């Protein structure tokens, strides 16, 4: 199980990221994509400065853009990944700004 996403069987229950209705998102990914997504989220979460967090967020966005360009995932899944990475980056930036 992933430390950053709570991954289980290639499903991403994103507990700390929910939609406007409060429902958690569920994203299904292949094991390889899952590992990379988790690594990118870990980099965002562990960023020790705003510039490092912004770079990690940009790297994650590029990862999703690559998946989108390759049509490796459905449009809905791509959209969810963009929101997940954007939310994680914004959360980390707010946290760093508060310190």
> 12 falls in which pLDDT band (50, 70, 90)?
very low
Alpha helix stretches (DSSP H) within the chain = 31-46, 50-69, 75-97
Question: Which residue, 34, 15, 24, 25, is CA-closest to 72?
Answer: 34
What pLDDT, on a 0 to 100 scale, did the predictor assign at position 25? 57
54 to each of 8, 46, 71, how far by Cα in Å?
Answer: 28, 12, 25
Assessment of whether the complete model's pTM goes beyond 0.85: no
Chain segment 14-63, per-residue pLDDT in tens: 444 444 434 455 788 999 999 999 999 999 999 999 999 999 999 999 99
């Amino acid at each position: 199980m992933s430390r950053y996403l709570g991954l289980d069987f290639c499903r991403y229950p994103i507990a700390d990221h929910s939609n406007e209705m409060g429902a958690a998102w569920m994203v299904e990914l292949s094991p390889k994509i899952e590992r990379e997504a988790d690594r990118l989220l870990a980099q965002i979460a562990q960023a020790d400065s705003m510039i490092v967090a912004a770079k990690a967020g940009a790297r994650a966005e590029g990862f999703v853009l690559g998946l989108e360009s390759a049509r490796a995932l459905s449009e809905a899944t791509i959209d969810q990944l963009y929101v997940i990475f954007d939310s994680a980056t914004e959360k980390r930036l707010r946290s760093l700004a508060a310190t």
